[in-house]
């Protein structure tokens, strides 16, 4: 089996090449439509990027499984020793609107854990990456999560609905709240220390969080589901029950606020 750093090099090259496809559509009014069952928007750019990533990655690693937001899922990936987990464009709505914080995301799982991940923001030329034996990198330079320990005053990427009292029986934290459309980018901003935490209580698809969760962990953050449970990847149902990413002490404090006082 290939070393994680070798697989990471493949991912980094692939997301950057696929980014060239995305940029051909960006701010050029790409065709787009809504997926069935309130599945959110998809554009012709998503499909074109997905096709390029599939060719680049599966041609190089035909024995790996494939899980992508824009591909039909099947049980074959569950039997593969490793699996690509891909979001061709994370933040499609923002991409359609001409915003520059969309990302192209690719990771590789093995035995339920992530071993390599890359998140590329082509409009901003920002590459976040990590493998399971190395440090987290931003454009090739090591990054580290913040050392913030207390929820009150923490810089947190989340939406207003996540601050509803029903989510915080231990007391709503007084956060400095902001937002970015791409979930993967939000987690990477925690890895970089530009924000202290990222919170979502909504179910999160693996392709949105898999690569970035490894990057944040290798930067020293703790990344779990919204109840504090460990994340597992390439599962039959590729969703996590929310995500909280934060430095360990802050993470523990946030999880405590989500539980009723004893």
Closest CA to 105 of 213, 178, 202: 213
| Residues 124, 60: Cα–Cα separation, whole Å | 27
Ligand-binding site membership of 225 (annotated): no
- Let me know: does 173 contact 252? Beta carbons within 8 Å: no
Take residue 63 and report the two structure tokens written for it.
């024995």
Please give the structure tokens belonging to residue 171: 């007391």
Q: Are 146 and 247 in contact (CB under 8 A)?
A: yes
Is 89 labelled a binding residue? yes
The strand pairing partners of 157, in sequence order, are 178, 198
The answer to whether 192 is annotated as binding is: no
69 is in an annotated binding site: yes
Tell me: is residue 90 an annotated ligand-binding position: yes
Q: How far apart are the C-alpha atoms of 214 and 136, rounded to whole Å?
A: 8
In the annotated binding site for Mg(2+), the residues are 69, 87, 89-90, 208
In the annotated binding site, the residues are 69, 87, 89-90, 208
């Amino acid at each position: 089996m290939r070393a994680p750093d070798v697989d990471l090099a493949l991912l980094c090259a692939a997301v950057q090449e696929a980014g060239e496809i995305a940029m051909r559509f960006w701010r050029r009014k790409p065709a787009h439509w809504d997926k069935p069952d309130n599945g959110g928007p998809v554009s012709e750019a998503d499909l074109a990027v997905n096709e390029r990533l599939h060719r680049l990655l599966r041609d190089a690693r035909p024995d790996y499984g494939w899980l992508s937001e824009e591909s039909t899922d099947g049980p074959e990936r569950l039997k593969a020793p490793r699996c690509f987990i891909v979001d061709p464009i994370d933040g499609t709505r923002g991409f359609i609107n001409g915003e520059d914080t969309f990302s192209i995301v690719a990771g590789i799982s093995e035995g339920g854990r992530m071993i390599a991940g890359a998140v590329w923001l082509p409009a901003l030329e920002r590459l976040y990456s990590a493998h399971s034996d190395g440090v987290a990198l931003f454009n090739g330079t090591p990054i580290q999560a913040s050392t913030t320990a207390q929820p009150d005053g923490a810089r947190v990427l989340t939406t207003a609905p996540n601050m509803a009292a029903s989510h915080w029986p231990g007391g709503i934290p007084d956060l400095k709240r902001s937002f970015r459309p791409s979930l993967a980018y939000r987690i990477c901003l925690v890895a970089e220390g530009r924000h202290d935490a990222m919170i979502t209580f909504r179910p999160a698809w693996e392709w949105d969080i898999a690569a970035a969760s490894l990057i944040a962990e290798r930067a020293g953050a703790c990344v779990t589901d919204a109840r504090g449970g460990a994340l597992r990847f390439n599962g039959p149902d590729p969703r996590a029950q929310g995500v909280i990413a934060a430095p360990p002490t802050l993470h523990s404090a946030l999880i405590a606020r989500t539980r009723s006082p004893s």
